[in-house]
Amino acid sequence: MTAATLPQDLVETDVADGTVRLRVDAQLYPLEAVYAAAYVFIDRCYVFLDREGERLRVSLSPKDGALDEAALRDVVGEFTNELLSCAWRNQIARDNRATLEAVTAQALAGARGAPTLAELEAFDFSEETFDDPLGIAMSWEEKYKKRERSEAERSDQRRPPWAGAGERGGRAVIELRFHRGLYDGNAIDAALKVFAEHARFEQRVDDEHFVVAVSADEDERVVARELANYALGLTIRSAKTGGVA
């Protein structure tokens, strides 16, 4: 598939920013497939995900620098091909999952036998709290306080994900808006720790996004994009393994 075969309303290029954006029907392409395709491209592009109603928005910015419109459309064409392949593999896995789970369950049940009444009685179903002085188990909402977006923020949905947010203390600031349904808050926290030596961050939560304001002594846009890629990579790993390593 090439960008030329895609409907015009699904592809948007920004040559000045070196970015091409693709709108993906979330009903046709499961998030697992989008994650898989994004992971393939994360080494050659800055990849950012967001949501627009029933569609996902994928922003791709090649790391080798600004390109012309034709080259950007070639990139999004390659991404759509990878997305189709990932969606097909995901569907095959879904179709075979029930069979695999049934065979595995039968094998495990035969190997261990049924639990005894004593084992069932001894099972601990309590949900007792535990000490968490570092706030590891706290959600982003608890740590950074959810707030409603202003009207200006609501009307600014179409700007690039790493658009400048003005200046604070004389320094340029890039604001990253990580959609809460697409990014793992713990993955973002882990990424911030990795990049802590390269930038300063301010964090908050609104009704749909984890928001991170990035300011740096070096090129803050590069730092913000690398941070976003790292957070996405950890989010995808978490989705596969059930936690951020």
The two structure tokens encoding residue 221: 């846009």
CB contact at 8 A, 204 and 211? yes
Whether residue 89 sits in one domain with residue 31 = yes
Does 176 share its domain with 234?
yes
Inside any domain, residue 182: yes
Q: How many domains does the chain have?
A: 2
Burial class, 7, CB count within 10 angstroms (exposed 0-12 / middle 13-18 / buried 19+): exposed
pLDDT of residue 242: 73
Residue 45 lies in a domain: yes
The C-alpha torsion from 156 through 157 and 159 to 161, rounded to 10°, is: 130
Same domain, 91 and 145: no
Specify the CATH number for the domain of residue 28.
3.30.70.60
Query: Are residue 62 and residue 151 in the same domain, yes or no?
Result: no
Cα separation, 200 vs 207, in Å, equals 23
Q: Which pLDDT score is estimated for 196?
A: 92
Do 90 and 171 have their domain in common?
A: no
Are 161 and 233 members of one domain? yes
d(CA 195, CA 184): 17
Whether residues 86 and 155 fall in one domain: no
Does some domain include residue 122? no
Establish if 209 belongs to a structural domain: yes
CA angle 40, 45, 50 (to 5 degrees): 85
- Percentage helix, strand, coil for the chain under 3-state DSSP, each rounded to 5: 45, 20, 35
Residue 92's pLDDT is: 80
DSSP output for 7-56: -GGGEEEETTTTEEEEEEETTTS-HHHHHHHHHHHTTTEEEEEEEETTEE
Answer yes or no: is pLDDT of 66 > 70.
no
Whole-angstrom distance, CA of residue 47 vs CA of residue 13? 14
In a domain, 44, yes or no: yes
pLDDT of residue 240: 85
- Return all residues near 229 (Cβ < 8 A) that are at least 6 apart: 42, 46, 47
pTM for the structure as a whole: 0.72
- The pLDDT value recorded for residue 21 is 95
The 10s digit of each residue's pLDDT in 3-55 is 556 777 899 999 989 999 999 999 899 999 999 999 999 999 999 999 998 89
pLDDT at 151 over 80: no
Q: Does 126 fall in a domain?
A: no
CATH number for the domain that contains residue 214: 3.30.1360
Same domain for 16 and 89, yes or no, is yes
Average pLDDT over residues 106-128: 61
- Answer yes or no: do 85 and 149 share one domain: no
Among 97, 121, 150, the domain-final residue is 97
Instruction: For residue range 158-204, list pLDDT tens digits in order.
Output: 555 655 555 555 567 899 999 999 999 999 999 999 999 989 999 99
What does the block give as tokens for 50? Answer: 């967001």
| Burial class, 197, CB count within 10 angstroms (exposed 0-12 / middle 13-18 / buried 19+) | exposed
On whether residue 207 sits in a domain, the answer given is yes
**Which residues contact residue 132 at a Cβ distance below 8 angstroms, ignoring those fewer than 6 apart?**
138
Residues of the domain holding 19: 3-97
The secondary structure of 187-240, three-state, reads HHHHHHHHCCCCCEEEEEECCCEEEEEEECCCCHHHHHHHHHHHHHHHHHHHHH
What mean pLDDT is reported for the chain?
Answer: 80
| 84 is a domain residue | yes
Number of helices (H), then strands (E), in the chain: 7, 8
**Same domain, residue pair 91 and 161:** no
